[in-house]
Amino acid sequence: MNRVTKNLLYEQVARVGKALASPKRLEMIELLAQGEKTVEVLAREAAIDVKLTSAHLRVLKESRLVQSHREGRFISYRLAGEDVAELWSRLHEVASKYVVELEVALGQLLSGAERLTSETRASLVAKAAHGDIVVLDVRPNDEYRSAHLPHARSIPLAELKRRLAELPRSKEIVAYCRGPFCMMSAEAVGLLRARGFRARKIGDGVAEWAASGLPLERAA
Amino acid sequence: MNRVTKNLLYEQVARVGKALASPKRLEMIELLAQGEKTVEVLAREAAIDVKLTSAHLRVLKESRLVQSHREGRFISYRLAGEDVAELWSRLHEVASKYVVELEVALGQLLSGAERLTSETRASLVAKAAHGDIVVLDVRPNDEYRSAHLPHARSIPLAELKRRLAELPRSKEIVAYCRGPFCMMSAEAVGLLRARGFRARKIGDGVAEWAASGLPLERAA
DNA sequence: ACAATATTCTAAAGAGCGTTAGAGTGCGCG
DNA sequence: CGCGCACTCTAACGCTCTTTAGAATATTGT
């Protein structure tokens, strides 16, 4: 009985592991870490067929990583807790530390994006609080409202070009988006630099930030 | 290219997820979190066929979660880093928090084993340092030597019955083993209570302890 | 060099998972 | 009420993973 029970327990944990074993589901988890989303929105943002998205969400729901609730005609999904985002963050931390191919790919992708340590995160907050830099959130505005880095300002990537006047040329602009795999902040930096701003990106998203133990801000 | 690269990245992370998607591999990771082991030892302790153990180790090695090196006729495996044990700990933390069936099974299995918080962990160390309690490691001695909780004493479960004289009847004995799924500490507590000792178990193993940020001791 | 031991490699069967399409369900609006 | 929308359920295909057995490899001791 001992051994049988034991295997059953590892099986339950493996159910969560299985949920984390698919690239599509991982992308969905990262998107949901930005805030609640409907199936349709999720399918569009991840570029996955709606039916397939629904099927994957079913798996995530069965493993208790996400929860769903109906809102009128739409069904909205969210992560089951903060620690799910943290788990995702740890997973890709371990992955990027040990999987060489990922390192190489990440290196190309991030193209100079800073990997933050707890010290640099703390000094980032301090500089932002003091007004020495501008922390810029380039995700869609609803994701910003759901949660964002301390002192961050929201200008979604799509609106950046026509809202450049809101940004100072005297200060360094530090852009971020959904996490190290997300290209939006890199695009934003490219645009800003072309217009003569001083800008750089960081690899952190809200999940990475929270996983490092620092608090997030939420819109009222 | 953007999308292609992106999927490739999630795929790399999913490789690690896949490695965590099998009950047998999870059990092996927990065993390896206790210290380096050869294939044969691992196979015996997990009650898995040697060939199958080797195959699973191959998967773990390909996902860079474990490393191997030859020692004479044996090949010894260990976790690739401390954060792998931490990842395992987080995984089963999330699993046990959200998977109801696991909760129930755990509840029966732990039968009163204390879930530790950071406060109770700290006070445990303080009491052990002061000599108010005896922290007892009932795992095989080589696992104890590899790493153990602060101030812990080693009496492997197999030797406990004939070494009872080494333990004080005046102090409470706090037993632990490999983690919340491990039955050895529960057996030890049963034995000790039957002989008139004051004893209880805790769910922590070295992985859970380290994941909570506290230091471990290692034999010189 | 040869036998014994520990482990890996190869091949093949079976189970389980991802994906797609079509039918079905629940909600809101006219 | 009934139509349309958002989503889920079911069934089926192909593919990948697990598991087992047999052959192969590397190392030690004689």
| Per-residue model confidence as pLDDT tens digits over B58-109 | 999 999 999 999 988 899 999 998 889 989 999 988 888 766 666 666 666 6
Q: Which residues between 32 and 91 in chain A have a beta carbon less than 8 angstroms from any beta carbon of chain B?
A: 47, 63-65, 80-81, 83-84, 86-87, 90-91
pLDDT at B171 over 90: yes
User: What distance in Å separates the CA atoms of residue A27 and residue A37, rounded to the nearest whole number?
Assistant: 13
Specify if A165 maps to a domain. Answer: yes
- Burial profile A50-62: b = 16 or more Cβ within 10 angstroms, e = fewer: eeebbebbebbee
Query: CATH no. for residue A32?
Result: 1.10.10.10
Which residues of chain A carry a pLDDT beneath 70?
A: 1-7, 98-114, 220
DSSP chain A: -HHHHHHHHHHHHHHHHHHTS-HHHHHHHHHHTT--EEHHHHHHHHT--HHHHHHHHHHHHHTTSEEEEEETTEEEEEES-HHHHHHHHHHHHHHHHH-HHHHHHHHHHHTTPBPP-HHHHHHHHHHHHHTSEEEEE-S-HHHHHH-B-TT-EE--HHHHGGGGGGS-SSSEEEEE-SSTT--HHHHHHHHHHHTT--EEEBS--HHHHHHTT---B---
Tally of domains within chain A: 2
The answer on B147 and B67 residing in a single domain is: no
Q: Single out the residue in A80, A110, A131 at which a domain terminates.
A: A80
Q: How far is CA A166 from CA A129, A159, A185, in A?
A: 18, 11, 17
The answer on A149 and A63 residing in a single domain is: no
The answer on B128 and B204 residing in a single domain is: yes
Specify if B220 maps to a domain. Answer: no
The answer on A33 and A119 residing in a single domain is: no
Top-confidence residue, B91 or B181: B91
- How far A18 CA sits from the closest chain B CA (Å)? 4
Q: How does the average pLDDT of chain B come out, rounded?
A: 88
pLDDT at B146 over 60: yes
The answer on B154 and B76 residing in a single domain is: no
Nearest to B25 by CA among B5, B67, B53: B53
Tokens of B191: 């034995």
Burial class for B71, CB neighbours closer than 10 Å (0-12, 13-18, 19+): exposed
pLDDT at A109: 61
User: What distance in Å separates the CA atoms of residue B200 and residue B186, rounded to the nearest whole number?
Assistant: 8
Specify if B103 maps to a domain. Answer: yes
Range of the domain at B110: 85-211
pLDDT at B4 over 90: no
* Nucleotides in chain D near protein beta carbons (<7 Å): 4-10, 17-22, 26-28
Residue B1 binned pLDDT confidence (cut-offs 50, 70, 90): very low
Computed on alpha carbons and rounded to an integer, the radius of gyration of chain A in Å comes to 19
Q: Based on the residue annotation, tell me whether A177 is a catalytic residue of this protein.
A: yes
pTM for the complete prediction?
0.79
pLDDT tens digit sequence for A34-69:
899 999 999 999 999 999 999 999 999 999 999 999
pLDDT at B109: 61
pLDDT at A161: 93
Of A46-60, B24-38, B101-115, B206-220, which range is least confident?
B101-115
B28's enclosing H/E stretch is helix B23-32
The answer on B159 and B60 residing in a single domain is: no
- Tell me which of A98, A177, A212 to substitute to probe the interface with B (most B C-beta atoms closer than 10 Å): A98
Report the chain A residue with the minimal C-alpha distance to residue B89: A87
